[in-house]
Amino acid sequence: MLASVRTCALRGIDGFEVVSEVDISSGMPTFSVVGLPDAEVKESKERVIAAIRNSGFDFPLKRITVNLSPAEKRKSGTQFDLPIAAGILAASGALSKEAAEKLSTLLLLGELALDGSLRPCAGVLPMLISVKNQVRTAVIAPDNFLEGQSAGGSFITPRTLRDLADWLEGKLPQEQVQMAYVPPPEDTPPSPLDFSDVKGQAVAKRALEIAAAGGHNVLLIGLPGTGKSMLAKRFAGILPPLSEEESLEITKIYSVCNLLGKMTRRLHARPFRDPHHTISEAALIGGGSNPRPGEVSLAHNGVLFLDEFAEFSRSTLEVLRQPLENGYVTISRAKETVTYPARFTLIAAMNPCPCGNLGHPHKACTCSPVQISRYQSKISGPLLDRIDLTVNLNPVTYSDWNKAAEGDPSAQIAARVLAARQRQQARFKGTATTANAFMTPQQIKEFCPLPAGADAILEAAMRKFGLSARSLDKVLKTARTIADLEGKEQIENAHLMEVLQYRPLDRKGVPDL
């Protein structure tokens, strides 16, 4: 007999429908899965056999062929366990004709334990969203309930394969396979980290406020203990809240990576990712034989903090060029090419030299000129060209350290940032641009007209500091953000001069402290 069960697979962070066709015929007992299955799909055979037997059904000792259609697209994930097992039950006659017909109208997603219970699988949210208009009811594991609720539509959550079969046969009421609605949390709890905790560093705080207001990338350079990490960890607290579209996009990425957990409905806080400097290229950018999102995609619409920036391998840092420039990552393999979103704000921090004491007022630097040059050369010119703001952090004095509070709290900074972002949203309404840092060349011409006297300033800066065309564009974008923070309609020369103060690497490499 032949049975067909609808399910889903992932390509990037989007789903596409798959039909699990099960044919059972006479012959030597075999169990084959075809249709470009990955290793984890091939391993489902053992789980399916044990789950069917331990659910009280007889596993058919016949020739079983499972085809995952469309056969030309690669299939990966554990969500095929449930549709394959249900298809075998329908094709073998273990389900009645009426139950098999009802099964053919459902979408099934779920991993099976050996005892037949349903376990969660990765990517349920994007898969349900992709087929929401074509499927009337979906079947998912109870631990994927909140993802199903975020996707919308009708779905049930049986605990076991046996519960699903009994519900199909009408032996189990709908209430026993359908969990109750859970209301979303009203507010995201505020972060305990506050900018007022950081002593001194007024220039760095100002630069981070500009970065948050316009989505600009920042490099913090300073001696150990000057507050680089403290500032970076508080940066996410001044970013504007996520829109519904941004929240859904981030949640889809985390769902694909199976990082949501069973208690999370949707991510409402901007992600903050801080990978160690020993991270590999594939882990940072994404990839693998079966491509998965990397840290740059997990930081989408949020912050990617790279501490000890110069300690990362140069080849690892170079893979950041594409996402910093385009806002996405394209990973190509022999059988497929996938694209992951990666529009993040980069906050990088580094010491001025390997020992960290270059320029220290009281400690001598023990590094040779060759060591310092090799250390600083880890960061290439093209990569530095993609960083909008570079800040030199001075050592904190005792008087700064002894102050009860320093500067505005995060709530006040966040209010100014939000007001600036709202001006940008009104400016870019109807376009794909979400912040000043992502303006296109046409938008720069339209929204960044130069004031009188600006030509001479920029020409002198380009000639003296060797600014590239990309650097000039970033200067204009950042100046536009400063104007937005001040509520000004036009860029002023003072805004351009302030931006040029944040580009010391264009002048003389890593600055002395």
Sign of the C-alpha dihedral computed for residues 425, 427, 433 and 438 taken in this order? negative
Least confident of 274-283, 367-376, 499-508: 499-508
* pLDDT score at 186: 60
Give the closest residue to 226 by CA, choosing from 383, 385, 361, 364: 361
* Exposure of 466 in the CB half-sphere (CA atoms within 13 A): 10
Confidence of residue 504 (pLDDT cuts 50, 70, 90): low
Q: Which two tokens stand for residue 119?
A: 């376990």
Give the closest residue to 104 by CA, choosing from 89, 118, 114: 89
Q: Is the pLDDT of residue 442 over 70?
A: yes
DSSP for 182-222 reads: -PPPSSPPPPS--GGGS-S-HHHHHHHHHHHHHT--EEEEE
Mean pLDDT of the chain, nearest integer: 90
Q: Which residue has the tokens 């920042």?
A: 218
Q: Which CATH superfamily is domain 195-508 in?
A: P-loop containing nucleotide triphosphate hydrolases (3.40.50.300)
pLDDT digits (tens, 9 = 90+) for 145-182: 999 988 988 999 999 999 999 999 999 999 999 887 77
Over residues 236-253, the mean pLDDT reads: 92
Give the closest residue to 242 by CA, choosing from 212, 266, 269: 269
Over residues 377-391, the mean pLDDT reads: 90
pLDDT digits (tens, 9 = 90+) for 406-438: 678 999 999 999 999 999 999 999 999 999 999
Three-state DSSP class for residue 495: helix
Domain 2-177 class, CATH top level: alpha beta
Over residues 245-272, the mean pLDDT reads: 86
Least confident of 123-132, 204-213, 253-262, 317-326: 253-262
Over residues 119-145, the mean pLDDT reads: 91
CATH code 3.30.230.10 region(s) in the chain? 2-177
Over residues 487-494, the mean pLDDT reads: 94
pLDDT over 70 for what percent of the chain?
95
CATH code 3.40.50.300 region(s) in the chain? 195-508
Helix axes 454-465, 493-501, angle to 10 degrees: 20
Over residues 380-388, the mean pLDDT reads: 90
* pLDDT score at 182: 76
* pLDDT score at 509: 43
Q: How far apart are CA 442 and CA 287, in angstroms?
A: 33
- The DSSP call for residue 309 is G
Three-state DSSP class for residue 441: helix
Sequence-separated (6 or more) residues with CB below 8 Å from residue 123:
10, 15, 77, 79, 255, 256, 258
Beta-carbon neighbour count of residue 347 at 10 Å? 28
Q: Is the pLDDT of residue 184 over 90?
A: no
From residue 321, give the alpha-carbon distance in Å to each of 32, 85, 396, 399, 499. Answer: 44, 45, 33, 41, 22
* pLDDT score at 172: 94
DSSP for 62-96 reads: SEEEEEEESTTS-B-SSTTHHHHHHHHHHHHTSS-
Answer for the pair 477, 433: CB distance below 8 angstroms, yes or no: no
Between 380 and 399, name the one with better pLDDT: 380
